Amino acid sequence: MKILIGMSGGVDSSVAALLLKNEGHDITGVTMKIWREGKYAGGQRDSCFGPNDDDNIAEAARLCEFIGIPHSVFDCFEEYDKFVIENFRNEHLAGRTPNPCVQCNAILKCGLLPDKAEEEGVDFDFFATGHYARKGHNGKRHTLLRAVDADKDQSYFLYRLSQRQLARHLFPLGEMTKEQVREIAREYNILDAVRAESQDFYSGDRNELIGEPDRPGNFVDSQGNVLGKHSGFWKYTVGQRKGIGIAMPEPLYVKELNACRNEVVVGYADEVIFHKLIADDINWIAFENLEEKMEVRIKVRSAGEPRPGAVIMPVSGGRVEAAFEDGIAGVAPGQSAVFYQGDTVLGGGIITERS
């Protein structure tokens, strides 16, 4: 088969390419260029978005040469700026907490990048990445599954993939553990050659991407009592504990962001436990639409295991209501709620309300 693989310059995509090459496939590596000097300052942290982009591209090219496959680079800065950075900015200024990795995977890494390659005449049957996830088929639709390595599973970030994207996608690392991947990298002497894994979205100060001057506002409690001052509500996220800077008998957490009043509502730990949410902009994978109540496991942030005992049901406007009796801390509007049964990703959407 002819397989196009997204190369980041890291160990996972490099091992994925190596495995596919060793299976006898015709492999071509491809990398997105998403940084352009001049618009943003960035910083020194290794990240997905920052001035280190050229170094990552150079490493990807060198690793492709080492593996013995051709490599192409496509400039995706304009699209990344529009669909990821602009969304990040607008969501924060609306008092929500976006997940740029979800946006990037669906729109750019697994969408625009292979589409651009195809437009430029690159011939391929499938597109692969080094994500830790698996795919299957339930007889009617392509499905997305959690990775064998639960600690590295990235299905949460991929729940917005379409049926077209899943049909052509391969996850070579989905059945492997991270240690098995690193062992292969050691065996082929590429472990020490690849860069450290990026843990951050942006190499600099995220407030730079939002681009708002400081605006004095208040920290308030749930009754509206002023507890302190801040310099802009967009600098905080729901569930945040560190950096509030208010001395109280117990730690305070960000409960809500009021964009209209430039207020950060804070409360004690029990005040940021929620038992219900509404999600919109739903993408179903395992079936076309949710028709009735269903018991599922749920994730409302990327870290941790899916929580059991949630019940989802369709509500008006194509939205979904999810209820979880035990409660979940820090459910944040703008983040994604992803629904699972077993290892299967049913689908998910963007959290708009919680109570």
- Strand blocks (E) in the chain: 2-6, 26-33, 47-49, 71-75, 126-128, 133-137, 142-146, 169-170, 200-202, 217-220, 226-230, 253-258, 263-267, 273-284, 294-299, 307-315, 319-329, 336-341, 344-354
Smallest Cα–Cα separation from 153: which of 170, 169, 175, 137? Answer: 175
Mean pLDDT estimate for the chain: 94
Q: Do the beta carbons of residue 133 and residue 146 sit within 8 Å?
A: yes
Alpha-carbon distance of 302 to 311, in angstroms, equals 20
Where does the pLDDT of residue 198 fall: very low under 50, low under 70, confident under 90, or very high at 90 and above?
A: low
For the domain spanning 2-202, the CATH number is: 3.40.50.620
Q: What is the DSSP string of 16-37?
A: HHHHHHHTT-EEEEEEEE---B
**pLDDT higher than threshold 80 for residue 265:** yes
CB 101: neighbour CB atoms within 10 A? 18
pLDDT digits (tens, 9 = 90+) for 292-351: 999 999 999 998 899 999 999 999 999 999 999 899 999 999 999 999 999 999 999 999
Tokens at residue 222, please? 């749930």
If pLDDT is split at 50, 70 and 90, which confidence band does 197 have?
low
Over the stretch 137-193, which tens digit does the pLDDT of each residue have?
Answer: 999 999 999 999 999 999 999 999 999 999 999 999 999 999 999 999 999 988 665
Quick one: which of 5, 1, 26 has its CA closest to 15? 5
What is the tens place of the pLDDT at every residue in 213-235? 999 999 999 999 999 999 999 99
Residue 124, Cβ density class (10 Å: 0-12 exposed, 13-18 middle, ≥19 buried):
buried
Pick the closest to residue 30 from 107, 161, 130 (CA basis): 130
Domain boundaries, the chain: 2-202, 212-267, 272-354
Answer yes or no: CATH 2.40.100.10 is held by domain 272-354.
no
pLDDT digits (tens, 9 = 90+) for 88-123: 999 999 999 999 999 999 999 999 999 999 999 999
Q: Look at the domain 212-267 and name its fold.
A: SH3 type barrels. (2.30.30)
Confidence band, pLDDT 50/70/90 cuts, at residue 43: confident
**Over pLDDT 70: what percentage of the chain?**
97
**CB count in 10 Å sphere of residue 329:** 15
